[in-house]
Amino acid sequence: MTINQQKLDTLVGSLLGELSAGYGGVMVSLGDKLGLYRAMAGGGPLSSHEIARRSRCSERYVREWLNSQVAGGYVAYHPASATYELTPEQAAVLADDTSPVFLPHAWQVVASMWADEAKTLNAFKSGEGVSWGEHSDRLFCGVAAFYRNYYSASLVQEWLPTLSGVTDKLEKGAKVADIGCGHGHSTVLMAKAYPESSFWGFDVHEGSIEIARRVAQEAGVEERVSFEVANADEYVGRDYDLICFFDCLHDMGRPVDAMHHARTAMARDGAIMLIEPYAGNRVEDNISPIGRLYYAASTTLCCAHAISEKGTHVLGAQAGPSRLEAVLKSAGFETIRQATRTPFNLIIEARL
């Protein structure tokens, strides 16, 4: 077999870039946890000694870390003064934990994928699943922190207003169920925005529900927000005006059952808000960095959980609009529309 040297060099170069990025993710996580980015934010050009002083870290370690950041393009370097600077753009991504583009926590998901590699290897060989609760704790924290900021920037301001008549109901006082609520950030965001409404969050992971209750208490909305451990096709309550599924339906082994239960639990004039990872209907539609990220996470997390439930579907994180619509139609929903979309998500409204 003849090897094309140019193609070989390109492939090796790509994989070396991946290896460098893998190392770089560790550096980003260290910079976040040690407060190095925050020590630099808004400070202008700083010496490694000053950054070490501000962060209370060892200068020699800090200097080597800084050089890794410069090489990766995450920190600016000024050779004449041998100083380092975090630009406003870099600070938004790396130092401001309230920013919608703050990304360091996302590497906790990657860490959990490595930590659980043995489970994934066994799953590939056996065909068995790996449930959400079987993963490293870093997964839950990483996913929750990442989506918290993303939802904070979009959910109330952009997504809910695209649903027909929903915000009017929320302002007057509505009943809302958040299915697969995780740490409860999406539930609490809505509760804070709509003080006349009441909210219920349900999730199969008991540890996440415990954290969600603390999140609600810290936000001061615990009197209007309730969190319970429950499957997506077994939670209690009726006549919900809005039932939300945030980035979770594709993880479920019985998505049609989950949607059928939602249909019976919602009010006659109620609505479903389905948030799912952005995807096209075909593999060739999803050839992009985002598609690659979602397919990789789906391999180890989403498909693995759906398989663990021994159900009817393994949708995966790149299910796409057609398969999602088929699930909704199978559950009895007649009116289905894509309310809006982002580079990361599809926002779908479904009604009876």
CA 183 to chain centre: 11
pLDDT digits (tens, 9 = 90+) for 321-346: 999 999 999 999 999 999 999 999 99
| Dist. CA 97–CA 100, nearest whole Å | 8
- Looking at residue 197, its pLDDT comes to 98
Does pLDDT of 145 surpass 90?
Answer: no
For residues 259 and 232, is the Cβ–Cβ distance under 8 A?
A: no
CATH architecture of 5-94: Orthogonal Bundle (1.10)
Across-strand partners of 175?
198
Where in the sequence of the chain do the CATH 1.10.10.10 domains occur? 5-94
For residues 181 and 212, is the Cβ–Cβ distance under 8 A?
A: yes
The set of residues, in sequence order, having a beta carbon less than 8 Å from that of 22 and lying 6+ positions away, is none
Tell me which amino acid residue 115 is: A
For residues 60 and 132, is the Cβ–Cβ distance under 8 A?
A: no
Q: For the packed helices 289-297 and 106-115, what is the interaxial angle rounded to 10 degrees? A: 40
CA 5 to chain centre: 39
Does pLDDT of 245 surpass 90?
Answer: yes
Burial (CB < 10 A; 0-12, 13-18, 19+), residue 338, is middle
pLDDT digits (tens, 9 = 90+) for 197-230: 999 999 999 999 999 999 999 999 999 999 999 9
| Dist. CA 323–CA 332, nearest whole Å | 15
For residues 275 and 341, is the Cβ–Cβ distance under 8 A?
A: no
Range scoring the smallest mean pLDDT among 25-34, 148-157, 195-204, 267-276: 148-157
| Bridge pairing between strands 335-341 and 266-277 | unpaired
The token duo for 8 is 């070989």
- Looking at residue 331, its pLDDT comes to 98
- Fold classification of 106-351 (topology level): Rossmann fold (3.40.50)
- Looking at residue 146, its pLDDT comes to 83
Q: Shortest CA distance to 271 belongs to which of 183, 340, 333, 345?
A: 333
- Looking at residue 62, its pLDDT comes to 98
- Looking at residue 147, its pLDDT comes to 87
Q: Is the dihedral of CA 291, 293, 298, 300 positive or negative?
A: positive
Where in the sequence of the chain do the CATH 3.40.50.150 domains occur? 106-351
Q: What percent of the chain has pLDDT over 90?
A: 96
| Dist. CA 48–CA 64, nearest whole Å | 9
Does pLDDT of 1 surpass 90?
Answer: no
Can you give the three-state secondary structure of the chain, one letter per residue?
Answer: CCCCHHHHHHHHHHHHHHHHHHHHHHHHHHHHHCCHHHHHCCCCCECHHHHHHHHCCCHHHHHHHHHHHHHHCCCEEECCCCEEECCHHHHHHHCCCCCCCCCCCHHHHHHHHHHCHHHHHHHHHHCCCCCHHHCCHHHHHHHHHHHHHHHHHHHHHHHHHHCCCHHHHHHHCCEEEEECCCCCHHHHHHHHHCCCCEEEEEECCHHHHHHHHHHHHHHCCCCCEEEEECCCCCCCCCCEEEEEEECCHHHCCCHHHHHHHHHHHEEEEEEEEEEEECCCCCHHHHCCHHHHHHHHHHHHHHHHHHHHCCCCCCCCCCCHHHHHHHHHHHCCCCEEEEEEECCCEEEEEEEC
Q: What is the average pLDDT value for the chain, to the nearest integer?
A: 96
Confidence of residue 267 (pLDDT cuts 50, 70, 90): very high
Q: What percent of the chain has pLDDT over 70?
A: 100
Half-sphere exposure of 28 (CA within 13 A, CB side): 24
pTM of the full structure: 0.91
| Dist. CA 53–CA 59, nearest whole Å | 8
